[in-house]
Structures are given as structure tokens and as C-alpha cells.
Amino acid sequence: MANSRKYKIGLVQMSMGPDPEANLATAIRHVRDAAKRGAQIVCLPELFRAQYFCQREDLRLFDLAEPIPGPSTQALGEVAREERISIVASLFERRAPGLYHNTAVTLDAEGKIASVYRKMHIPDDPLYYEKYYFTPGDLGFRAVDTPQGRIGTLVCWDQWYPEGARLTAMQGAEVLFYPTAIGWHPAEKEEFGTAQYEAWQTIQRAHAIANGVYVAAVNRVGHETGDVLGNRVEGPGLEFWGGSFLADPFGRIIAKASHMDEEILIGEIDVALMEETRRNWPFLRDRRIDAYAPITARFLDPL
């Protein structure tokens, strides 16, 4: 008999202001609201404590980083314990002097750190200068048990890589959470905006289908110039496109947020649907694991 276990997750789509403490307070309020609406696992957007500061390279902004465990995990851990929920929180980690990561922490229902994932794929694009701030993750891809179910967490740019989704799903993850900070360059939105958003959504729906899992993408929303305590980027900034969503193992969108507003999405995870989908689409059964060794090469040059 298929596993009939079900649980609810909450996705917090929020906007960020210039004050990190105010952003933390807002995040806590949204997490509590999600819990009141029945969410048992709640995920926050990427680097939710600040406006997206990677729009420029500025040594002063390393002061935003914090240790793990640290102030954010302590504050959110108290909320997790009080609400009896698990929380996925994306943080700017100060691991050692001069060594920083873009890190997602999973807190369990006792408020303790259950898992740490360091973002593996680090982008470097106009207004997304993450390589200046973040060292690539060295913990690999991982899944973790929560009281509700087994989940995996990846971060933003990881969304474009099927290898990360596959390796996390192969560890038994039922849901892949992607805390995210992605948006439009205002000058490009009219020409490319729809195609960019649809590509972002499509690649993640494909992860759900190929692996027979749920995929939860949790984005921020609003126009930002990287304003952190009065230090801002000159120029048009970025318009974060929201559109957070939850896709089921068939790739269907079962919950979706707008492009403009703060929202809390609540979606149900049905483990029996995973079983049913994988029985009909047995992609894991039919994988040719004997033929995939070349995938570890950077590129296969013509002979």
C-alpha cells in the first residue's frame, strides 16, 4: 500500500527593507502566520535579512555575515520550538575570517539545527556579483529528516542544475526547497521578462517531474537597489519577480504567488502521490547508471 502520509508546507514570499533587524522581525511574523495556517515546514527566501546586496562589490557588506549558529538561528529556533514547526532559513554565513558562504539552515521543531547546506553553484552576472562574497559550498548535496518528512534544500542558482536536484532526490528528499533571490533588470523586462520567468519556472517543474518529488521555489518580491542601512547602489536596481510556487511530482503548479505582493503560500505534500507518480513514470528504475560516468567531465571535446 502506498504511504498515505501528508503534511503542509509554507512558502514566505516577502520584500526586504534596508534594516536587517526589521527584516528578521518581518520574517518571524510571516513564519508565525504560516504556522497558524497549518504549515508544518516553512521556508524563507534567499538572504532574507537584507536587500540583495550582491548588486555591487563592497567590503563593508561582509559585516552583514553572521556565524552559524548565531543570532538568526537563535531567533528562528525559538519560533520553531514555540510553533512546533521546521524552518528553512537562508543566511550569509561567516565561517571564518575571510571565508563566507551563502547558506541554508534547517531548524527542527525543537529549535535545533538539523542540517546546513552551503550553496554549491555561485553566479557572477551584472548586479549578481555573488562570487565576490561567497565561497562555493563544500558540504555536497544533502537531504534531512524532519518530523514531517525528508526534505532537501538547494539555493537559487542551484535551480538551473539537474545534477543537484537528482543527487538530493536520490537521498530520499520528498520536497526540494529552493530559497531564491531572482528578478528582472528593469531595462530587460519588457523584451525578455516573460521568457525569463517561464524558463525559471519550467526548469524547476522539470526537476519535479524527472525525480518524482515536490519542488518549492521561494522568491523575494519588490524593487531593490541594495539599500543596506543607507548604503545603496546607484542605478536602476533589480525588480524581484516573486512568483513563488509549489509543483507536485507530475510538474503541476498547485500553489503560486503573484509577481508583486508579499504572500504566504500553503501547500500540501502527499507522499502517496509521489509513489503513484513514480510507479507510472519509473525514471529512477530506468536510469542507466552504468553509462553516466562522463557526466563528471567539464565538457566532452570531440575526438
**So which residues are the catalytic ones?**
46, 119, 156
Half-sphere exposure of 116 (CA within 13 A, CB side): 18
Q: What's the sign of the alpha-carbon dihedral 237, 200, 106, 102?
A: negative
C-alpha 133/C-alpha 135 separation (Å) is: 7
3-state secondary structure of 181: coil
Exposure b/e, 191-204, CB count within 10 A at least 16 = b: eebeebbeebbebb
Residues 249 and 255 sit within 8 Å (Cβ to Cβ): no
Residues 64 and 16 sit within 8 Å (Cβ to Cβ): no
3-state secondary structure of 208: helix
Q: Whose CA is closest to 71, among 137, 139, 21, 136? A: 21
3-state secondary structure of 266: strand
Grid cell, residue 297, equals 567531465
